[in-house]
């Protein structure tokens, strides 16, 4: 018998719609999140050490994400009762890197039948046939997939990088620019490459305050 083929939405695709039971009640996606950015992330199972550190970190940053018009949604192939017990344990017993008494108030999806996980390609047979891999989907206010990140079961995610990427995409959308390697908020940004030779020549020769070129194809706008 052939193995079930794993599919996943790609960058630019519509994020698959779903209705799910969560620790915060039923949610309908994308209807309940119109006009907002969403970070949808999966974890292998409840009561696992790496996931515990990730959830504590995400929960401690939830206010920061909300200020960026962004909501968090977690997912695990576990029951709602397991979710509640695990989140209660985190709040009452776990301390990590100075974080303690951490309450997870973003929704965590119950996905025992793997309905949502399969729509998003979160179950990959060669990694595990019973657990969701560590996937992160950043979805924009129009419910389009904008970024996809996958991590192995053994290694935790860098939440600061996820936030940095979100900030970079929001800035690109707002200003029509790109961001260079290792960009951080406040640093110079890239002006999109010219569409013709004439424009390229003008760009290099023209002196414009706040802008500078390293060559015809790579020009920056100063941010400070």
List 190's β-bridge partners, or say none.
Answer: 178, 220
Q: End-to-end CA distance of the chain, in Å?
A: 60
Other Cβ atoms less than 10 A from the Cβ of 13: the count is: 13
Do residues 131 and 153 touch, judged by C-beta distance below 8 A?
A: yes
If you search the block for the tokens 């509640």, which residue do you land on?
A: 84
Exposed / middle / buried, residue 142 (Cβ in 10 Å: 0-12, 13-18, 19+): exposed
51 a catalytic residue = yes
Strands (E), 143-182: 145-151
Dihedral of alpha carbons 140, 142, 144, 146, sign: negative
88 a known binding residue? no
Which residues contact residue 155 at a Cβ distance below 8 angstroms, ignoring those fewer than 6 apart?
A: 50, 134
Active-site entry in 51, 197, 213, 219? 51
- Rounded Cα distance between 158 and 71, Å, is 17
If you search the block for the tokens 């399969």, which residue do you land on?
A: 118
Dihedral of alpha carbons 195, 200, 202, 204, sign: positive
Q: Can you say which residues are annotated as belonging to the binding site? A: 134
- Catalytic residues, by residue number, are 51
Q: Can you say which residues are annotated as belonging to the binding site for substrate? A: 134
């Amino acid at each position: 018998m052939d193995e079930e083929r794993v599919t996943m939405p790609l960058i630019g695709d519509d994020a698959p719609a779903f209705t799910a039971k969560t620790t915060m009640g039923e949610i309908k996606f994308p209807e309940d999140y119109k006009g907002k950015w969403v970070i949808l992330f999966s974890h292998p199972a409840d009561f696992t050490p790496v996931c515990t550190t990730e959830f504590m970190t995400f929960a401690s940053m939830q206010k920061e994400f909300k200020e960026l018009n962004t909501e968090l949604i977690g997912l695990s192939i576990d029951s709602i009762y397991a979710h509640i017990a695990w989140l209660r344990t985190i709040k009452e017993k776990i301390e990590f890197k100075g974080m303690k008494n951490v309450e997870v108030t973003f929704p965590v999806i119950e996905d025992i039948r793997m309905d949502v996980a399969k729509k998003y390609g979160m179950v990959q047979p060669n990694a595990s046939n019973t657990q969701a891999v560590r996937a992160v989907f950043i979805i924009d206010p129009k419910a389009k997939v904008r970024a996809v990140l996958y991590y192995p079961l053994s290694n935790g995610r860098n939440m600061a990088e996820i936030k940095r990427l979100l900030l970079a995409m929001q800035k690109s959308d707002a200003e029509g620019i790109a961001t260079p390697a290792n960009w951080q908020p406040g640093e110079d940004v890239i002006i999109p490459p010219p569409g013709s030779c004439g424009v390229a020549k003008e760009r290099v020769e023209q002196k414009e305050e706040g802008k500078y070129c390293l060559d015809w194809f790579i020009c920056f706008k100063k941010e400070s």
